[in-house]
Amino acid sequence: MKAKSTFTVIFFTRKSRSKTNELSIYVRITVKGRRSEMSLKRNVQTGQWDSARNRGRGSTEPIKNLNAYLDEVYNKLLQCHKELIEEDMVISSEAIKSRYLGEDDNSRTLNELIAYHNGNMAHVLKPGTMKNYRTTERYLYGFLLQKRKLSDIHLKQLNYRFIVDFEHYLRTHKNKKKQLVLTNNGVMKHLERFKKMVNLAIKLEWMQKNPFSQFQLKYNKYDRQYLNERELALIEETEFTIGRLQRIKDCFVFSCYTGLSYVDVKDLTQNNIVKGIDNNHWIYTKREKTDEQVKVPVLPKAWTILEKYRIAQEMEEGKLLPISSNQKTNAYLKEIAMACGIKKNLTFHVGRHTFATTVMLSNGVPIETVSKLLGHAKLSTTQIYARVVESKISEDIGNLLERFRQKEENRSA
């Protein structure tokens, strides 16, 4: 005897409450004898429903469209049943109905993922990093509204094409002046943040498949901008009559001789200045970005700048240096570069790069020491700076050739 199926889907009708000559169409899901029903929001004329086939009767265009829709519903319900089996979930008529309607726990949406991520990560990530995630969020919502005409999307609908289309949207996005907003690496950063959110959804078991599995992030490699000895000396020796430029110049030079980032310079107080075991002054602080402990010796030129502003700053707010907002600081540095005839794109972070290359590596300080001074968690991060110090490479090769020459002289002696 053939076993009775434990899972069935049938379509049926009930008399319409509003129109006597119409029937309202429903679908019934049955699992192990237990039923769940839902209205399909479709109607059909009384004489156009075939009760034996549970489909519309006739060959008119409206009936063909209705039957195609019913077939689509049927296939989707079968797919929901299959998904629940593959996910080792409890199979019931209500579970299949909820999966179809997108109301179960495994039908989470992108909005829910973003809200969960930002709500939890706000206590883990730095404010600057969270600001970047919120920018990525705005681009995602903009893409959904403009390109998909949606305000939200189920996570199970995210696929490779969604990623590729989102990438294209980022690459072609323009501001009000019709200018492209993002570079390649800017696009990759947004995709990287989106990928991290998707990975979180997979860990939470909100998604089964990773739409990024076949997608590769491709960054363009750039040499880090830094000042050479001549350019650094040029800025140091230039005195500005405009107070704001002179103050920012001093703060920038301080960064060039300490390797501190903008936020670490801004937050520097007298408590960060201590006497080391060598009886010299050191800066003890934690990097805002990585939370790594940093211990930097205060070189003479950096100490001179601290002494210059010490009394005025302590009286004002306890901070050691008179630095402006990050945006204004970088704007003033553009003026300083122009006044000094420096063609490079001068930002405050260039000071940190200059410390690593011109001040440290070029003068023979081992890369392991530079890594500690910069507060890098990985040596590989510091090696990015080492690749661009050509003068140091030339000097090392010169020393090698000199040793070869001495060995030849010793052999012939």
Radius of gyration of the chain (CA): 33
Residues 268, 353 contacting (CB under 8 angstroms): no
The enclosing H or E element of 42 equals strand 34-45
pLDDT tops 80 at residue 371? yes
pLDDT at 1: 38
Strands ordered across the beta sheet of 34-45: 7-15, 22-31, 34-45
Taking the C-alpha atoms of residue 259 and residue 172, their distance in angstroms, rounded to an integer, is 36
Which carries the bigger pLDDT value, residue 98 or residue 251? 251
pLDDT at 389: 58
Residues 330, 340 contacting (CB under 8 angstroms): no
Structure tokens at 116: 């969960």
Side chain identity at residue 214, one-letter code: Q
Residues 64, 71 contacting (CB under 8 angstroms): no
User: How many other C-beta atoms are found inside a 10 Å radius of the C-beta of residue 112?
Assistant: 15
pLDDT tops 70 at residue 356? yes
Taking the C-alpha atoms of residue 296 and residue 308, their distance in angstroms, rounded to an integer, is 19
pLDDT tens for each residue of 210-239: 999 999 999 887 767 889 999 999 999 999
Name 98's Cβ contacts closer than 8 Å, sequence gap at least 6. Answer: 104, 107
pTM, two decimal places:
0.59
pLDDT tens for each residue of 25-59: 999 999 988 999 999 999 999 999 999 999 999 99
pLDDT at 391: 60
> What is the distance of C-alpha 18 from the center of its chain?
53
Would you place residue 104 in the very low, low, confident or very high pLDDT band (cuts 50, 70, 90)? low
